[in-house]
Structure 1
């Protein structure tokens, strides 16, 4: 069970025009996840715009806005493209599977389905995103990376990083300035960053600063005190605490680790 993904249970949005199916799925997942329900794609879109959702399970055949249209709507919006989508359908044709995948569905499951199979798919999709996020936010030599392969979402996250880099040594740079420079409202920015990285925007700013600090320390051209100021920390002790919390080692320990690693490399000649 995914009890370590967040302090609170991940939220799954269940979409089906049959109340009995929604009741069944809600009962299936209620012990391990928070469940939200919608009777069609339009209702699901409204929920996504107002609720924090980790994964969507949707039927394909629905009135007004079917599962294919909902999936396409999700995957083509930067705010939601990272959210995994599982499509459930009674259509068992090869072409219907291709259509679902073309719309961006992460998993396509035929009805009737095994509940165990569906549970495992949900767990794997969420766990994979959690593990990728953990890797890229815990390695000193890494940069912030999106677990989503959607190009528009990657470009959006790259823009965030570039803006923060441009104001890296500005001690007063905050979330409000970041939102303004990205031409976004603070709530929209918060929701997007929280959805992708499971962290608040101010935490993301610290993460990018610390990753850059690790890069500068590894370069060996600056003292640690200089690095701290370069990445926006006016207190060396505060910088050390944040670095230790993020990477489980002090800046000095990391510097020594980089030296040891470099010394152990074989000579290229």
Structure 2
């Protein structure tokens, strides 16, 4: 599926121009001011926002500020377009959390590269998180709001690690959120379902415990909510490309190689 972009500008010609340039690679939705854009954000799953700054009703600065401080939208990258090329204007845009700032007139090719880079960087960060045993969940956060949310998810899962039945419904209750809101937020930040994120969080805690060297593999499996060492080993291998035994051996070998000579 093509990523969905939200274009916001009070000039219909510019909206049509942008749509023509971008609709081959992206699904496009359009709004003519910030308030209309917020309404679309409530209705659609948006991957990136491109907004003009000077608009009636609600300008681009205010829209960007709301997006970056709103729990449900703070993960969405925002590109601001403007004819205002003063340094102060650029600083203001970056201070409220804009991910990129492009002056009009601009090259469509330059805009395409900015969009692709923002989406690709986020995809790389997500991939790094899911494939690396000791990388913290916060690595996926792009805003303070997202960071606080991900930390809260992590704490909720850690506090209930031994509960093999922990799932999205239980996690939603622990987070004091509705199931659909939790699902949408986790999916949009991490590209994972809540149950997948719960499983990865278990496995990452297991990797930490293995590195500590205080527990046998079957004990770690027990402590992280897996019914058996076999089930744990299968999940670990699928997620990180190595068995718990191989992972432990790799970490021990690395520790020995880093020991100072006697």
CA shift, 1:155, in A, is: 1.4
Q: Relative to structure 1, is the Cα distance of residues 191 and 166 closer, same or farther in structure 2, using a 3 angstrom cutoff? A: same
The answer to whether residue 127 in structure 2 is matched with residue 134 in structure 1 is: yes
- Residues 220-256 of structure 1, C-alpha deviation per residue, up to 9 Å, x if partnerless? 2212122111111113332222211110111111111
The question of whether the paired residues in 1 share the 8 Å contact of 2:141 and 2:150 is answered with: no
Picking from 64, 69, 75, the partner of 2:62 is: 69
CA shift, 1:149, in A, is: 4.1
CA shift, 1:171, in A, is: 0.9
Which of the two has greater helix per residue? 2
Aligned to 2:238: 245
Q: Whole-Å Cα distance in 2 between the matches of residues 248 and 221 of structure 1?
A: 23
- Give the SS at the match of 1:57: strand
Aligned to 2:85: 92
Structure 2 gap segments, 5+ residues each: none
Between 72-81 and 19-28, the greater mean CA deviation after superposition: 19-28
CA shift, 1:98, in A, is: 2.1
Aligned to 2:7: 14
- Residues 12-46 of structure 1, C-alpha deviation per residue, up to 9 Å, x if partnerless? 11111222222221221222222222221111111
Superposition CA RMSD, Å: 1.5
- TM-score, structure 2 as length reference: 0.94
The question of whether the paired residues in 2 share the 8 Å contact of 1:26 and 1:35 is answered with: yes
The question of whether the paired residues in 2 share the 8 Å contact of 1:90 and 1:111 is answered with: yes
Q: Whole-Å Cα distance in 2 between the matches of residues 203 and 18 of structure 1?
A: 42
Picking from 117, 132, 153, the partner of 2:110 is: 117
Q: Whole-Å Cα distance in 1 between the matches of residues 139 and 14 of structure 2?
A: 33
